[in-house]
């Protein structure tokens, strides 16, 4: 039985359907269809009017890829009434969403996420993007999908790194919004990644994360306030990602970033050091990295954080936990405290 959730975003409402084989529902959407597929994901049987296969990898999340999607649509003479279908992870979803936001000033699109990260986070909420050599996600648009079809069966072929990386975003969601979800992850422990149960445990995780993400998007679609808490672990994490030249994948970097943010919050007395410790232990159980490679100097990481696009005139803006299940955005934290957090977070 498929589960159906609703995301009532201000610019458009849509269903998020979760269950075995739900990708087949693509056929019920009107219009001619362009399938945009990640090169590592075989087509399960989506019959479209045209297809474009993307070269996998964050380094190909470029405006050139967006242009190639739009050109394929133009070659097929697709119109504003037609539909793009994204089949892949967060990279494919972000690129297809961006192309659909700008092709003929906007066409409809649906998301069929195939990574855990995309199922629990990227496919819901309408943020679309491409990277520039100057930085990640610097161009994009808010453009909500018409539907999100999540079949956890796709997870069976995912690499261990991509599975644990997706789990980092699940931990993020739990720490900022849902203490009960955190307890469940803790109780499941390492078996959740070493012997993953995609038929029930993961369905529950995906459902809960989508529900929470939809609620946040409903209350703040364009990130004027609350939505920013979804960036927990990401300001620290992006610094690690960038410093590693993206050899440390996003989810792993976010895990390190959450540990650094957790240490800082404990130093500031925002949450207890025992809560920071619980977060650390959970990340370790999920086989995620929690420390920065020794050769990454704290001062260099801080320098990267200074150019984060979420900063304002009061300096580096961070999301920090108040307790497990609740977080808030703070700015004006002395940089020497951030340096100390990085130091405490080293190998």
Ligand X SMILES: NC(=O)c1ccc[n+]([C@@H]2O[C@H](COP(=O)([O-])OP(=O)(O)OC[C@H]3O[C@@H](n4cnc5c(N)ncnc54)[C@H](O)[C@@H]3O)[C@@H](O)[C@H]2O)c1
Residue 169: active-site member: yes
Q: How far is the CB of 321 from ligand X (least distance, A)?
A: 19
Residue 75 as a binder of ligand X (CB under 6 A): the answer is no
Residue span 172-211 as binding mask against ligand X, x where in contact by CB under 6 A, dash where not:
----------------------------------------
Q: How far is the CB of 299 from ligand X (least distance, A)?
A: 26
Interface of this chain with ligand X, residues 229 to 268, rule: CB under 6 A:
250
Q: How far is the CB of 199 from ligand X (least distance, A)?
A: 16
Residue 143 as a binder of ligand X (CB under 6 A): the answer is no
Residue 98 as a binder of ligand X (CB under 6 A): the answer is no
Q: Please identify which of the residues 227, 310, 328, 340 carries the catalytic annotation.
A: 227
Q: Which one, 95 or 266, has the nearer CB to ligand X?
A: 95
Residue 317 as a binder of ligand X (CB under 6 A): the answer is no
Q: Which of 310, 320, 316, 319 is nearest to 332 (CA)?
A: 316
With contacts defined by CB under 6 A, name the span among 15-23, 26-34, 153-161, 309-317 that binds ligand X.
153-161
Cβ atoms of residues 120 and 52 within 8 Å = no
Cα–Cα distances in angstroms (integers) from residue 323 to residues 190, 198, 262, 263, 275, in the given order: 23, 29, 10, 13, 7
Residue 77: active-site member: no
Q: How far is the CB of 286 from ligand X (least distance, A)?
A: 15
DSSP H helical ranges for the chain:
63-75, 90-102, 116-117, 160-177, 179-188, 191-194, 201-219, 234-243, 250-267, 273-285, 298-306, 335-344
Question: Residue 212 is inside which H or E element, if any?
Answer: helix 201-219
CB-neighbour burial class of residue 247 (10 A; exposed 0-12, middle 13-18, buried 19+): exposed
- Residue 115 CA, distance from chain mean position: 10
Considering only 19, 152, 165, 257, the residue that binds ligand X (CB under 6 A) is 165
CB-neighbour burial class of residue 314 (10 A; exposed 0-12, middle 13-18, buried 19+): exposed
Cβ atoms of residues 246 and 59 within 8 Å = yes
Residue 32: active-site member: no
CA distance 48 to 110: 13
Q: Please identify which of the residues 33, 61, 72, 127 carries the catalytic annotation.
A: 127
Residue 250: active-site member: yes
Q: What residues are annotated to the active site?
A: 105, 127, 169, 213, 223, 227, 231, 234, 238, 250
Residues lying near ligand X in the complex (CB under 6 A) are found at 38, 40-41, 56, 58, 61, 88-92, 94, 114-115, 117-118, 121-122, 125, 127, 137, 154, 157-158, 162, 165, 250
């Amino acid at each position: 039985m498929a589960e159906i959730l609703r995301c009532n975003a201000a610019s458009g409402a849509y269903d998020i359907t979760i269950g075995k084989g739900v990708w087949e529902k693509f056929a019920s959407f009107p219009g001619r269809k362009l399938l945009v597929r990640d090169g590592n994901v075989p087509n399960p049987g989506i019959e479209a009017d045209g297809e474009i296969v993307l070269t996998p990898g964050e380094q190909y999340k470029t405006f050139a890829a967006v242009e190639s999607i739009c050109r394929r649509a133009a070659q097929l003479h697709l119109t504003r009434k037609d539909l793009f279908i994204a089949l892949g992870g967060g990279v494919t979803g972000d690129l297809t969403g961006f192309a659909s936001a700008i092709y003929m000033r906007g066409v409809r699109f649906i998301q069929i996420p195939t990574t855990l990260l995309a199922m629990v986070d990227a496919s819901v909420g309408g943020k679309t993007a491409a990277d520039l050599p100057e930085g990640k996600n610097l161009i994009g648009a808010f453009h909500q999908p018409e539907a999100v079809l999540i079949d956890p069966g796709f997870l069976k072929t995912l690499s261990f790194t991509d599975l644990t990386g997706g789990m980092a975003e699940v931990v993020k969601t739990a720490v900022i919004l849902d203490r009960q979800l955190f307890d469940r992850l803790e109780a499941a422990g390492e078996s959740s990644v070493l012997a993953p149960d995609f038929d029930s445990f993961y369905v529950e995780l995906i459902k809960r994360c989508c529900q929470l993400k939809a609620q946040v998007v409903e209350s703040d679609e364009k990130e004027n306030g609350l939505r920013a808490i979804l960036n927990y672990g990401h300001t620290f994490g992006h610094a690690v990602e960038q410093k590693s030249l993206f050899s440390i994948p996003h989810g792993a970097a976010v895990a390190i970033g959450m540990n650094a943010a957790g240490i800082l919050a404990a130093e500031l007395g925002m949450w207890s050091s025992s809560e920071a410790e619980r977060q650390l232990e959970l990340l370790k159980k999920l086989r995620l990295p929690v420390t920065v490679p020794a050769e990454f100097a704290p001062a260099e990481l801080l320098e990267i954080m200074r150019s984060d696009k979420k900063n304002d005139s009061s300096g580096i803006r961070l999301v920090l936990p108040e307790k497990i299940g609740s977080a808030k955005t703070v700015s004006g934290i002395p940089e020497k405290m951030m340096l100390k957090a990085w130091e405490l977070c080293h190998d």
